[in-house]
Structure 1
Amino acid sequence: MTTIRRAELTLPGAPLGLANPLPALCPPTGVHAVSVDERLRESLPLDMRRQLGYRPLRSILPTATADGYDRARTDLTLDTLILENSRLEVTVLPGLGGRIHSLRHKPTGRELLYTNPVFQPAAFALNGAWFSGGIEWNIGATGHTTLSCAPVHAARVEAPDGTAMLRLWEWERLRDTPFQVDLWLPEDSDFLYVAVRIRNPHEKAVPVYWWSNTAVPEERRVLAPAEETWHYGYERALHRVPVPHLEGSDRTYPLNSPHPADYFYELPEDARRWITALDEHGHGLIQTSTDRLRGRKLFTWGGSAGGRRWQEWLTEPGTGGYAEIQAGLARTQLEHLRLEAEGEFSWCEAYGPLSADPDRVHGADWAAAREEVSARLEEALPRAEVQKAYEQWRRCADTEPGERLATGSGWGALEVLRAGLKLPGTPFDESTLDAEQAPWIELAHTGSYPEPRRVTPPGPTLVAPHWRDMLETAPAAPLTEYHLGVAQWHAGDFAQAVRSWERGLELAPSLWPLLRCLAVADRESGQVQRAADRYAEAFADLCAERREAEVWTAASAALGREAIETLIAAGRPADARAVWDGLRPATRTRGRFRLLEARLLLAEGDKEGARGIFEEGFEVADLGEGSELLAELWAAVSDDPVPARYDFRMRPVQEDG
C-alpha cells in the first residue's frame, strides 16, 4: 500500500542564515553566457536558434541573494516527507525546493541517487544558495532555481490509480509562473511517476525554463539515445560533437572529461526520451518521460584539479563524487521557451532502477549499448505506460489538495489576491501571507506604500509591471521612491530609477539604502569615483543607525563588502580601510572577508601581508560558479602554482595550453 508520512533527516550542515537585505540590482554573472560560431548558428535547428536569444534573465529581482551561510557545520534536522510503496522509498525535502533527497529500491537495498552526506550551501543557484545531491526541479531561467533552498507547498492528493499522491507547488517569482510537481507510486511499481505542470495565468506570453536535475555517482556510464551532443564548457562556447568519443576519450564516462562540462544530447525527434547512469554491473537509475520533455544532458566535474576541488567543496572529502543526468524542455539549458498567455506546459516523468547486460552497456559498440538499454527499459516500463500515466494524471491535475503537509511562501497568495486568479489544484491561501507581503497588500488596497514605524532595512521590492504601476501612482514618500526606483531599474529605465532615488533622498530618515542604489547606478555607468563617494557615505550612515539585530549585521556586511570592492577599484585603499574598520569584528573573520582583506592589503602595497592571509588559510563560502578570483589573487601575491585548496578553476588554464 502506498503511503505518505512525515519524518526528519539529521545530517551535518551549514545553516542558511539571513538573505542579503540589499536588492540585487545587477544581473547574475555570465557563467551561462554563450558564444556560438556564426557558421554553426546558421545550421542550428530553427527553434533552437530562436530560443537561444529569447528573453534572457535581466536580474534575479524580486528574489533576494541568499548568501547568509558559511561553512561551519552543525547537526541540522530537516523536515522530510516519505512517499513509499512495497518497492520504493522516496524522501522529499519540502523546505528545500521539494528536492528528492533519496530514492531507495527496497528489494535490492540500492540507493538509486547520489545522496549528499552533508548539507553545504554554495553559490550555484541564480540567487546564491544551492546544494548538491538528489533530484531537483529547476524552473525560471538558465541556472539552478531560486527555490533551491526555499520552502514549497506540499499536500496529499489522490493519484490517478487511487493511491496517495504527493503534490508540491509554488509561485516562481522570476517569471511569475505557478507550477506543480506531483509524485506518486503505483502499488508494487518499481518506478516513481512525476507529473509537472507550469502555468501562465497572465495576458502576455512568458519565457519558460525547466530542467529536472538528478545527481548520480560519477563512476558510471551515462547513456542516452543519441549520436551527437552539444558540448558546453566553461570557455562558454557551444559545439556540436559526436557521442561517445571526443578528442580520443569516451565522454560518456564522466571522469573522462578533462574539465567540468555540459553534454546536451541531440535526441532524434521520434526517439523515446530517456537517460541512464549504469555501474560496472549494469545496474543504476534510469529516467524517462513523455515527449514534451525533450532535452537530456550529462554534467560532469571531470578530472581536472578544479573539478575535483569543487567535488570536495560541495560534498565531503572521501565520500565519492557525483555527476548529473538531466531532462529539460529544450535541447540545451541556454534556451527559454515561449509559453503563451493563459497557456500551460505539462508532462510526465518516471524514475526507477534498471539492470542491463554489462558487457553490452560498457562495450565499444555505442549503438549496441543504446539498444540494450532501450530494450531493458521497454521491458521494465513500456513507453505506452508512461503516456497512459500522463493521460490519467491529467484528469486529476486540478484536484484540490487534501491534508497540507508543508507550507511555502506567501508570494503566490499575494498575486492570486491581487489579480483574483483561479488556479485549480494549486491553492495559494491567504493564510500563507506574512509580514513581507503586508506592505504590498496595503499598497494594493489603499494605493499607498506604508512608511516603517521603526528604523529598519527596507524589505523586498516587487518589480512586476503591475506593482511598478502602483508605486508610480502612490504618494511620493521616501520608501515608495526607493522601491519605485528598484522596479524601474529592473525594467531597464535606469535614468528614471536614479531620479526616483534622488527624490527619495530629500526626505528620507535613512539615507544609506538610497545612496547604495545610486552608488550601483554610478558604478554601472562607469562613474567609479562618484560611486566610491556614495558607498562611503552610505556605509557611514548605516553605521550611525544600525542596531544589534541580525538583519543589521547582514546589511552592514553586504554594504561594507560592496563599498570596499568599489573603493579599491577607485584606487582609494585608505577609504576602503576605513570601511573595513567599521565592520563588526565577527564579520571580518568570515572567509569571504578574509579574501577581501587580502585584496585590500594588496591595494595598500602589502604583498607579503596578502600572501600571509592565504598561508593562514580561509574558505570563501559563497565563491561563485566559474569564479577564478582566488587563482587571480594568488597570482598577484606569488609566482608559485595555485595551492590545491584554492584551485577552483573550471576551464583549461593557460599553462595547459
Structure 2
Amino acid sequence: MATTVRRAVLTLPAAPLGPENPLPGLRPLDEQHVVDERSRTGLPRDMARQIGYEPLRTLLPVRVLDGYGRERTPTDLDAIVIENDHLRATVLPGLGGRVHSLFHKPAGRELLYRNPVLQPADFALNGAWFSGGLEWNIGATGHTTLSCAPLHAAIVPAPDGGDMVRLWEWERLRDLPFQVDLWLPADSEFLYVGVRIRNPHERTVPTYWWSNIAVPEDEGTRVLAPADEAWHFGYARSLRRVPVPDAHGDGVDRTYPLRGDHPADYFYEVPRDARKWIASLDAGGQGLVQTSTDRLSGRKLFLWGAGRGGRRWQRWLTEPGTPGYAEIQAGLARTQLEHVPLEAGAEFSWLEAYGPLAADPRAVHGEDWPTARAQAGARLEEALPRARVDAAYEAWRPYADHEPGQSLAAGSGWGALEVLRGGLKLPGTPFDEATLGEQQRPWRELLRSGTFPDRAGGAPTPPGPSLVAQHWRDMLETAPAEPLTEYHLGVAQWHAGDVAQAVRSWERGLKITRSRWPLLRCLAVADLDAGNAGRAADHYAEAFEDLCRERGDGEEWAAATAALGREAIGALLAVGRADAARAVWEGLPPEVRASGRFRLAEAQLLAAEGDKEGARALFGAGFEVPDLREGAEVLGEVWASVSDEPLPDAYDYRMRPPAVE
C-alpha cells in the first residue's frame, strides 16, 4: 500500500488535566537532575561548562499543571495515523505530539511501550506528564512543558513525493520555535523524523533536546549502544564515569534494566566517529532500534530497577497488571544535565529513524559485550545503512521550509504573538494570528497601545499568565503604572534576576490595588528566597485571607485557592505556626480538604500539633497525592515523624537507597 496519513480518534481511560495553576512559577519545581559542585570537578571541561550553562531559575512564562486527579474515564483523543505496508504510527498532536504507538505489521508487534491509560503525574518541568510512547523533549533538563500541550500539525510534501506530518510549536522556556517532521517512505520499515530548532533572536540561547522512547521491559530485555563506558546518574546529585556493562563492579549487568535495584540514568559515551544508535531487544533478539545523523550525539538508558520504589512508580503511571517499561533516549549532548549554546540566527537540525531490529539472540545476549553490540550494529547496518540515513537527511532539508497544507491540529497562540511582535519570518512553521486567544489578548493590547489593560469594572479574576522576555519587560516598564502592570512587571524582573526591582514593583502595586493576594504571594516567595521565613509566613497568611475575601466561583478560583492554601500551610508550618496553618486549612472548601493533596497536608498539620495518632490514622485510612513529585520523599518524612514503624509499601516511592544522603 502507498503511505497514508489520516485523522483518527483514540479512546483511552484518562484523568482530566484540570485547570492551570494561576500562581506564577517563580521557582522551578523540585528537580532531581542536579549535580553538586564536588561532582563537577572531575568532569570533562565541555561537559562541566554545559552543565553550568543557564539552568532554569524559574518556570516562567509557563504555568504549572497540577489540577489533575487519579479518576479515569474513557476519553476520546484526537490522533493522526501514518501508515504503510510495514509500520503504523499513531501520533497525539494534542499531547505534545507524542507517538503513542509504532506497530510493526509483518510481525504483529508493538515496538514501543504503549500505555493503556492516560494518567498525568508530576514528572514534567511544569508538572503534568504521562508515560509511554515516543516524546519530544525540548526546553531544559527534564520532561518538556509541552508534554500535555497541543502542537500545531499539518500535512506537507515528503521528500519521496508522499505526505509528511509536520508538528510545530513555540517553546516558551527558551523562546525557540521548533518542528518535527514524520514520514514513512512507501517501502520503508523505518519511521523517519526530521527535527529543526531555530533561534530567531539576536543572542545565543541555551538549547536542550532529548527524544525519549519508552520500550517494553521484562527479564530478557537488554539495551545496547555503541559504547564501552557511560556516565551514571543515580539521583544522588553525582555524575560519574562507569564501565559498560558491569557499571558498578558488582558483577551485575546494568544493560538489563531489571537487574538494577534503583532508578538510574546511564548516558553512554559514544565515540565521536561511531554511528549513533541505541536498541532495546528482547530474549529472542527482537525489538526496536533508533538511529540518527551525528548532530543528535547522546544516548541514554533510564531504568526504574526492580526495587520497591521503582516498581511503585511504574504502577503509579499506569494500571495494575500492566508490563513495565524502560526508556532509551537520544539527545543533543552527552547527558541530560547539559544545555547547548545555539547562536543567534542559527539552527540545529538532524534526522532520526525508528524501526524494528532482529539480531542473533546468542550474540546480543552473550557475556562478551563488544560482540553483543557489534552484532546489533551490524544488523542495523543491514536493515538501514548509515549512508541511507545521511542521504535521507539531505533529501529532507529542502522540504523543511515547505509551507504546510491541510491543517490537522492547532497549538497555542503564543507563537503567533511572538511572530507579530518581532515581525519574524519562519518558513515552514506559520504561527497564524487566528490562533491568538484570550490569554494573549492583553499582551497584544500592550503591544498595540503601550498600555496593559486593567480589570477595572469587570468581575475579579486571578491574573492571567505573565510574559517575561526582555522585550515584554521593556514594554511593561514604560506602560502606565496600573496594578496589573506592576504585578506582571515584577514577575518579569524576578525572572531576569532583578529581585530588588521585582519586590519594589510588587510593593508599588500593593498601594494601588484592591486585589492584594497575587502581589502578597509574590512577596512571600521573595521572602523565602531571601531566607526570611517568618515574613514569608506573614505574607502568605495575609494573601490567603485576602483571596478568601475576593474569590468567586469557577475552576480558576478553585485552582487559585488550592494552590495558595497549599503553599501557605507549608510556609506557616515551616516556622512553627501550626495554629495559623490550621486556620488556612479550615478556610479551604470541603472538597479541597478531602483531596489526597490535602490529606497529606492534614497529616503534616496533625504531626505539628502533636497528634501523632491522628496522623497515623490518616495514613491507615489511605490517601493518594496525585501530583507527588518525581523523587519526592515527603511521604516517608511525614511518616517517620509520627511512627517508628517502617514506611508502608503503599507510600514507598523512594528512588534512591536509604543510606544516600
So what's the TM-score if we normalise by structure 1? 0.98
Alignment of 1:44-193 (within 5 A): 44-193=43-192
Residue 41 in structure 1 maps to residue 44 in structure 2: no
Of the three residues 425, 431, 448, the one matched with 1:422 is 425
Q: Does the 8 A contact of 1:93 with 1:99 survive in 2?
A: yes
Alpha-carbon displacement from aligned partner over 1:455-501 (angstroms, at most 9, x marks no partner):
10000000001101100110000010000001111111111111100
Aligned counterpart, 1:486: 491
Distance 2:417 2:641 in 1: 50
Aligned counterpart, 1:522: 527
Alignment of 1:458-497 (within 5 A): 458-497=463-502
Q: Does the 8 A contact of 2:281 with 2:288 survive in 1?
A: yes
Distance 2:522 2:505 in 1: 10
Aligned counterpart, 2:656: 651
Of the three residues 599, 608, 612, the one matched with 1:607 is 612
Residue 352 in structure 1 maps to residue 361 in structure 2: no
Aligned counterpart, 1:392: 395
SS in 1 for 2:113: coil
The runs of at least 4 consecutive aligned structure 1 residues that moved more than 4 Å come to none
Aligned counterpart, 1:639: 644
Distance 1:2 1:36 in 2: 51
Distance 1:368 1:520 in 2: 55
Alignment of 1:186-225 (within 5 A): 186-219=185-218, 220-225=221-226
Alpha-carbon displacement from aligned partner over 1:384-424 (angstroms, at most 9, x marks no partner):
00000000000111000000000000000000000000000
Question: What fraction of aligned residue pairs are identical, expressed as a percent?
Answer: 70
Q: Does the 8 A contact of 2:223 with 2:301 survive in 1?
A: yes
Distance 1:617 1:111 in 2: 36
Deviation at 1:37, TM superposition (A): 4.6
Distance 1:311 1:317 in 2: 9
Aligned counterpart, 1:364: 367
Aligned counterpart, 1:433: 436
Aligned counterpart, 2:631: 626
SS in 2 for 1:498: helix
Of the three residues 560, 564, 579, the one matched with 2:565 is 560
Of the three residues 327, 346, 349, the one matched with 1:343 is 346
Q: Does the 8 A contact of 1:36 with 1:238 survive in 2?
A: no
SS in 1 for 2:47: helix
Distance 1:55 1:319 in 2: 39
One-letter amino acid of the counterpart of residue 468, structure 2: V
One-letter amino acid of the counterpart of residue 242, structure 2: V
Aligned counterpart, 2:586: 581
Aligned counterpart, 2:304: 301
Q: Does the 8 A contact of 2:28 with 2:125 survive in 1?
A: no
Alpha-carbon displacement from aligned partner over 1:80-124 (angstroms, at most 9, x marks no partner):
000111110000000000000000001111000000111010000
Alignment of 1:258-337 (within 5 A): 258-337=261-340
User: Could you tell which deviates more after superposition, 50-59 or 173-182?
Assistant: 50-59
Aligned counterpart, 1:234: 235
Deviation at 1:36, TM superposition (A): 6.0
Distance 1:19 1:30 in 2: 20
One-letter amino acid of the counterpart of residue 163, structure 2: A
Distance 1:50 1:491 in 2: 21
Q: Does the 8 A contact of 2:544 with 2:584 survive in 1?
A: yes
Distance 1:50 1:505 in 2: 41
Deviation at 1:510, TM superposition (A): 0.7
Deviation at 1:47, TM superposition (A): 2.4
Deviation at 1:188, TM superposition (A): 1.8
Deviation at 1:28, TM superposition (A): 2.9
One-letter amino acid of the counterpart of residue 29, structure 2: P
One-letter amino acid of the counterpart of residue 10, structure 2: L
Of the three residues 457, 461, 470, the one matched with 1:456 is 461
One-letter amino acid of the counterpart of residue 86, structure 1: D
Distance 1:212 1:283 in 2: 21
Q: Does the 8 A contact of 1:97 with 1:148 survive in 2?
A: yes
Aligned counterpart, 1:381: 384
Deviation at 1:74, TM superposition (A): 1.1
Q: Structure 1 residues 46, 519: CA separation in 2 closer, same or farther (over 3 Å shift)?
A: closer
Distance 1:210 1:327 in 2: 8
Aligned counterpart, 1:12: 13
Q: Does the 8 A contact of 1:118 with 1:315 survive in 2?
A: yes
Q: Does the 8 A contact of 1:70 with 1:621 survive in 2?
A: yes
Q: Structure 1 residues 368, 69: CA separation in 2 closer, same or farther (over 3 Å shift)?
A: same
User: Could you tell which deviates more after superposition, 383-392 or 565-574?
Assistant: 565-574
Alpha-carbon displacement from aligned partner over 1:511-533 (angstroms, at most 9, x marks no partner):
11111111111122122222111
Alpha-carbon displacement from aligned partner over 1:416-471 (angstroms, at most 9, x marks no partner):
00000000000000000000000000001111000013210000000001101100
User: Could you tell which deviates more after superposition, 45-54 or 410-419?
Assistant: 45-54
Distance 2:278 2:442 in 1: 47
Distance 1:176 1:115 in 2: 31
Distance 2:330 2:528 in 1: 39
Deviation at 1:609, TM superposition (A): 0.6
SS in 2 for 1:288: strand
User: Could you tell which deviates more after superposition, 69-78 or 225-234?
Assistant: 69-78
One-letter amino acid of the counterpart of residue 410, structure 2: T
Q: Does the 8 A contact of 1:7 with 1:79 survive in 2?
A: yes
Give the aligned CA root-mean-square deviation in angstroms.
1.1
SS in 2 for 1:17: coil
Q: Does the 8 A contact of 1:286 with 1:354 survive in 2?
A: yes
Q: Does the 8 A contact of 1:628 with 1:649 survive in 2?
A: yes
One-letter amino acid of the counterpart of residue 584, structure 2: V
Distance 2:446 2:418 in 1: 13
SS in 2 for 1:577: helix
Question: Which structure 2 segments of 5+ residues have no match?
Answer: none
Distance 2:266 2:190 in 1: 26
Residue 253 in structure 1 maps to residue 251 in structure 2: no
Aligned residues: 654
Deviation at 1:45, TM superposition (A): 3.5
Of the three residues 621, 627, 644, the one matched with 1:616 is 621
Deviation at 1:540, TM superposition (A): 1.1
Deviation at 1:35, TM superposition (A): 3.0
Distance 1:67 1:136 in 2: 20
Distance 1:653 1:309 in 2: 16
Q: Does the 8 A contact of 1:36 with 1:237 survive in 2?
A: no
SS in 2 for 1:397: helix
Q: Does the 8 A contact of 2:15 with 2:72 survive in 1?
A: yes
Q: Does the 8 A contact of 1:233 with 1:260 survive in 2?
A: yes
SS in 2 for 1:610: helix
Distance 1:607 1:105 in 2: 55
Q: Does the 8 A contact of 1:200 with 1:343 survive in 2?
A: yes
Alpha-carbon displacement from aligned partner over 1:26-68 (angstroms, at most 9, x marks no partner):
1232311113656x735x4332232111111121100000001
One-letter amino acid of the counterpart of residue 7, structure 1: A
Distance 1:329 1:648 in 2: 30
User: Could you tell which deviates more after superposition, 522-531 or 469-478?
Assistant: 522-531
